[in-house]
């Protein structure tokens, strides 16, 4: 059948999913609802190859009576319309963007969630509904690979590799919190830093222009219960930064030493910091001109019997296009303890 032209636009192949994909995602959502008992299912579309393309997706449903626009919520999400259940499962939802420039996701949120605070169980279920339904881009050999081997190579639960998730905004840091336990994610799990630049493998749905929003969580780590809070720190220089442990500033080693200079305002340019620390351990440039740089420091032995060893550290730096420092964070890796238990808005 000839391609359908919508409102006089080009008849080039458009990125599309069928109602069967959405219904399969809903089926998974309902079957595994224990992960998110109060979660609400929505769907979201991202532009995956062009910066700022997400605002151009313009979804339509190719119903028998013609192309029907799909109303998107303010954050770009949409719900499964009850009227769609009467249509053929093969009915397509099309984007304005051409095939290959869009990635689709299920979206699960418990009331009380915000762009800065998500629930781990929601994100576990969201991953499964996205990838096991075929919604996320796994076309071609990669899609067949996942379909056949997903019981063995589950990218939602694997500790060795993971399927991509996207934050609501460019992400600078992520922390897991439950009770008095807290753990900072390594920067290598954020912002595309742990990927090969420009890599495009359908099995992983590597969305290069969305790398500033990309993250991977330890979804399969059962030590973190479903009610765990997932805190997202925005890359925005004016966004709140996770509190710095004063003890880290006084710790031995080159990273705390440079952090003390940063806090005192003695360093503000990339060249100055590079002269102090040398070669970085990770860097990612974004289309906006911003750049995130990572330095790491291994576990530092205790000075004496009365002190504890310093944990592995990461110093994460954000620079603008002119290599001026915008924000920074010194982070302890591994699980840490809070003075008081963290309360979540969805706690019962």
What is the predicted pLDDT for the residue at 343?
Answer: 84
> How far is residue 181 CA from its own chain's centroid?
21
| pTM tops 0.75, yes or no | yes
| 30 has pLDDT over 50 | yes
DSSP labels for 248-311? HHTSSSHHHHHHHHHHTT---BHHHHHHHH-S-SEEEE-TTS-EEEEEEE--B--SSTTSPPBP
What are the tens digits of pLDDT across the range 117-146?
Answer: 999 999 999 999 998 888 886 544 445 555
Is 34 a residue whose pLDDT tops 70?
Answer: yes
Listing DSSP states for 4-15 in one string gives PP-TT---SPEE
Is residue 52 over pLDDT 60? no
pLDDT at 96: 73
What sign does the dihedral 20-21-25-28 (CA atoms) show? positive
Q: What is the pLDDT of residue 58?
A: 78
What's the confidence (pLDDT) of residue 16?
Answer: 78
The Cβ-side half-sphere exposure at 150, using a 13 Å CA radius, reads 17
C-alpha 335/C-alpha 140 separation (Å) is 39
8 Å CB contact between 327 and 273: no
Q: Would you say how long the chain is, in residues? A: 348
198 has pLDDT over 50: no
pLDDT tens-digit map of 62-72: 988 888 899 88
Q: Which of 89, 104, 129 is nearest to 45 (CA)?
A: 104
The tens digit of pLDDT for each residue in 252-287 reads: 999 999 999 999 899 889 999 999 999 999 999 988
Chosen CATH of 246-334 out of 1.10.1740, 1.10.3470, 3.30.1450, 3.90.1720: 3.30.1450
- Spell out a b/e string for 68-99, using b for 16 or more CB atoms within 10 Å of the CB, else e: eebebeeebbbebeeebeeeeeebbbbbbbee
- Summarised one tens digit per residue, pLDDT across range 204-257 is 455 667 888 889 899 999 999 999 999 999 998 777 777 788 888 989 999 999
Say what the pLDDT of residue 135 is: 85
């Amino acid at each position: 059948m000839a391609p359908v032209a919508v409102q006089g636009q080009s008849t080039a192949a458009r990125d599309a999913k069928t109602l069967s994909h959405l219904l399969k995602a809903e089926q998974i959502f309902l079957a595994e609802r224990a992960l998110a008992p109060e979660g609400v299912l929505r769907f979201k579309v991202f532009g995956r190859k062009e910066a700022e393309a997400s605002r151009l997706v313009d979804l339509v449903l190719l119903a028998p009576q013609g192309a029907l626009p799909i109303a998107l919520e303010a954050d770009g999400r949409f719900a499964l319309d009850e009227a769609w259940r009467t249509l053929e499962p093969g009915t397509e939802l099309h984007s304005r963007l051409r095939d290959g420039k869009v990635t689709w996701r299920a979206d699960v949120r418990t009331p009380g969630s915000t762009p800065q605070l998500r629930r781990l169980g929601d994100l576990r279920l969201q991953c499964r509904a996205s990838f096991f339904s075929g919604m996320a881009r796994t076309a071609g050999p990669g899609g067949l690979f996942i379909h056949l081997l997903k019981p063995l190579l589950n990218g939602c639960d694997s500790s060795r590799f993971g399927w991509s998730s996207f934050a609501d905004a460019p992400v600078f840091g992520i922390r897991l919190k439950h009770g008095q336990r807290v753990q900072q994610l390594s920067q290598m799990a954020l912002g595309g830093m742990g990927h090969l630049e420009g890599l495009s493998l359908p099995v992983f749905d590597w969305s290069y222009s969305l790398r500033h929003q990309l993250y991977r969580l330890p979804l399969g780590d059962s030590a973190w219960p479903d009610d765990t809070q997932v805190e997202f720190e925005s890359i925005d220089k004016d966004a709140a930064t996770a509190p710095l442990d004063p003890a880290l500033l006084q710790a031995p080693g080159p990273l705390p030493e440079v952090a003390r200079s940063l806090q005192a305002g003695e360093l503000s340019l990339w060249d100055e910091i590079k002269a102090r620390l040398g070669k970085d351990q990770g860097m990612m440039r974004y289309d906006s001109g911003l750049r995130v740089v990572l330095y790491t420091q291994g576990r530092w032995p205790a000075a004496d019997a009365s002190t504890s060893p310093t944990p592995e550290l990461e110093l994460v730096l954000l620079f603008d296009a002119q290599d001026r420092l915008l924000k920074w964070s010194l982070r302890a890796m591994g699980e840490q303890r809070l003075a008081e238990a963290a309360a979540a808005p969805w706690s019962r």
